[in-house]
Copies of this chain bind each other. A is one copy, B any other.
């Protein structure tokens, strides 16, 4: 009898925790939308970018589609048309609405999307509240996935908004209250050395609790001796590359990189503008002078690779990066709770000291690696629509590691594999150098 009660309590606790976590993440998304004007929710400046309204609807659709519609008996879709509008890319679930047309959807209005969120949240909290052990074991993984999914979209929401605002000649700020930071000399980068050998990388669910399918299974890799720069490349470092003619000299570039430089007319990182002989950059706080002591950001992998060639170094592989991060004795390093992203996308100058040798591994800029985004040995695509989450994108993209200033802190993991095309620059992406030893 007492045991039954205990089990019930446990269930109750688990449910309460789940509900609390659910509310926390969902609230964080809406908190991020606080500074937006109604008009800001609808803009799409390129096919890769989604309007804020779409992000907040799509994350809701995820819970409705994969939780409510499957686990709530007799559930009726909030509005059946939304199933088409807010499906991102799950083709086994149905034909998604055209991605480049997301900016065409003036309806549903922002208010209608918030009402959709509210209705789904209410039903979700009821589902969580009612759940017994059996149902809980089935929904908990999906809810956890849905919340991590939502955290990814929190980052994208800010990333996409920055892109959208940057195309407006008024250069509006997302938040006017972001502080200007003082510059200081960050000095030369040092090097942390690592011995070669057989290492384990990838997520260990027993320790990490949660990880995406693409971080699994944990497996062995062989590495040769290597060293990693103890900090990311700074704006000052990168300016030396620019000033040395980096964007005019093909020999530093991959063939595709050079073709892109010429086709796009690249002369500096994305969001940099030359005004009266000075470099400025567009930030979520509006136009600001380029801070020489901050990590360079919004560079493509092509630029990262060219910079490394110019510096007679190379980019790390993702295995090297992960092994180094493990050695730094933290497997995850939550920067802050929930939505309070690090100053909402405003890059900090380099830390001057650090307790584990490698400065700013997490939470400043995503660091491009030399590794293509492919399957780990033994990787299996999960069954069902959730199987489309990661695996089908394993072509043509490169891995980034570490998380950025717009990544929710508790969404960052040592084993986390982010991935984008080598030409992509609108993410908060930077560079850390490596070399053979």
Which A residues lie at the B interface, using CB under 8 A?
A: 37-45, 81, 84-85, 89, 91-92, 97, 101, 103-110, 164-165, 167-170, 172, 198, 219-224, 250-251, 253-258, 302, 305, 314, 370-372, 374-375, 377-378, 392-396, 422, 436
Contact = CB atoms under 8 A, between A and B. Distances in A.
Contacts of A223: 377
B251 A104 contact: no
A223 B314 CA distance: 25
Most B-side CB within 10 Å, residue of A85, A169, A254: A169
Given A40-B107, A43-B105, 4 more contacts: A39-B110, A43-B103, A89-B255, A220-B224
Contacts of A254: 392-395
Contacts of A108: 170
A305 B374 CA distance: 12
Given A224-B377, A254-B394, A395-B254, A109 B372 contact: no
B37 A39 contact: no
A222 B314 CA distance: 22
A240 B374 CA distance: 27
A223 B220 CA distance: 8
Given A97-B169, A104-B43, A253 B110 contact: no
B224 A258 contact: no
A220 B222 contact: yes
A93 to B, nearest CB: 11
Given A251-B91, A370-B375, A107 B37 contact: yes
Contacts of A377: 223-224, 436
B106 A378 contact: no
A394 B224 CA distance: 20
Given A395-B254, A395-B255, A106 B37 contact: yes
Nearest to A110: B39
4 shortest A-B CB distances, which residue pairs? Answer: A372-B372, A222-B222, A39-B106, A40-B106
